[in-house]
Amino acid sequence: MSEYEDKQELAVELAVHWAKTELRQFSMRDAVNDYMEEVGANNAMTDESIIDRRRICAQQLTIKSIAFLSKDELHKVEQELKRIAEDDAPKQQLGWHR
């Protein structure tokens, strides 16, 4: 398996675990952010583009977790992944860089 697939699998596993037990939320968030970084979701020109790419990644993870969750758990995961995509997105720095 590639590193991309490993990170995706870990993010899905932790999201499913969190939805069922409410444990390891921060581990899930870190795994989701690592996955988004690995696929290049944070590499865009504007903050808006970064958030859009991160939302797409969040939707991919939600789709991957469908088979393992009930309707309510899936909704919970979907909302949390959307929040992570929007709130944890890195901001572009404007101006000159050294």
pLDDT the model gives residue 91: 63
Q: 10-59: per-residue pLDDT in tens?
A: 999 999 999 999 999 899 999 999 999 998 988 888 888 889 999 999 99
CA distances from 30 to 8, 14, 24, 71, 96 (A): 12, 10, 10, 24, 30
Residue 54 near residue 29 (C-beta atoms within 8 A): no
Q: pTM for the complete prediction?
A: 0.84
pLDDT the model gives residue 93: 56
User: Where residue 3 falls among pLDDT bands split at 50, 70, 90?
Assistant: confident
Q: Rounded to whole angstroms, how far apart are CA atoms 45 and 86?
A: 16
User: Where residue 96 falls among pLDDT bands split at 50, 70, 90?
Assistant: low
CA distances from 1 to 6, 16, 33, 83 (A): 7, 21, 19, 28
